[in-house]
Amino acid sequence: MTTDAFDGGPIAPDPPARWPWRLARWLERRLEAERDQLPLWLPIALLAGIAAWFVLPNRAGWLAFMLAGAALGLPGFAFAGRTRTGHALAIFALISAAGCGLVWLRSVEVAAPRIERAQPITFLGSIERVEAIGAEGDQRLIVRPEGAGLPVRLRVNVPAEKVPTGIAPGARVRLRAYMLPPVPMAVPGAYNFARAAWFQRIGGSGRALDIAVTAPPVEGGWRAWLAGARQRLAAHIRERLGGGGAGGVAAALATGEQGAIPEADAEAMRRSGMAHLLSVGGLHLTAVVGGIVLLTLRLLALSPALALRFRLITIAAGAGAVAGIAYTALTGAEVPTIRSCVAALLVLAGVVLGREPLTLRLLAVGALLVLLLWPESAIGASFQLSFAAIAAIVALHENPRVQALLGRRDEGWLRRAGRGLFGLLLTGVAVEIALAPIALFHFHRTGLYGALANIVAIPLTTFVIMPLEALALALDAIGLGAPFWWLTGKALALLLGLAHATANAPGSIAMLPAIPRAAYGLVVLGGLCGSACGGGAGGCSVSRRSRSAEPGRWRSPRRTSSSPATVGTSCCATRRGGSPCSVRAPAIMSATCSPSCRAPSRTIMTSRPGRAPRAAPTCASRR
pLDDT, tens digit (0-9, with 9 covering 90-100), for 157-171? 999 888 888 888 888
Would you give the DSSP letter of residue 364? H
Is 465 or 445 the better-scoring residue by pLDDT?
A: 465
C-beta separation of 138 from 177 below 8 A: no
Overall average pLDDT of the 508-530 stretch = 80
CA separation, residue 119 to residues 127, 176, 284 (Å): 21, 11, 41
C-beta separation of 73 from 90 below 8 A: yes
C-beta separation of 571 from 618 below 8 A: yes
pLDDT of the residue at 479: 86
Residues 199, 591: Cα–Cα separation, whole Å: 47
Written as one letter, the residue type at 181 is P
Residues 383, 282: Cα–Cα separation, whole Å: 11
Residues 340, 331: Cα–Cα separation, whole Å: 12
Check whether 583 has a pLDDT greater than 80: no
* pLDDT tens sequence across 226-279: 777 888 888 889 888 887 788 888 988 888 888 778 888 888 888 888 887 887
Mean pLDDT of the chain: 77
Residues 166, 178: Cα–Cα separation, whole Å: 22
Check whether 548 has a pLDDT greater than 50: no
Q: Where are the domains of the chain?
A: 34-109, 119-218, 249-534, 565-623
Please choose, from the candidates 491, 488, 469, 495, the residue with its C-alpha nearest in 3D space to the C-alpha of residue 288: 469
Ramachandran region, residue 400 (left: φ > 0; alpha: ψ -120 to 50; beta: rest): alpha
Residues 550, 600: Cα–Cα separation, whole Å: 17
The model's pTM is 0.72
Check whether 99 has a pLDDT greater than 90: yes
SS (H, E, C) 188-252: CCCCCHHHHHHHHCEEEEEEEEEEEEEECCCCCCHHHHHHHHHHHHHHHHHHHCCCHHHHHHHHH
Residues 94, 104: Cα–Cα separation, whole Å: 15
Please tell me the CATH code under which domain 119-218 is placed: 2.40.50.140
Residues 6+ away with beta carbon under 8 Å from 65: 49, 52, 53, 56, 96, 97, 100
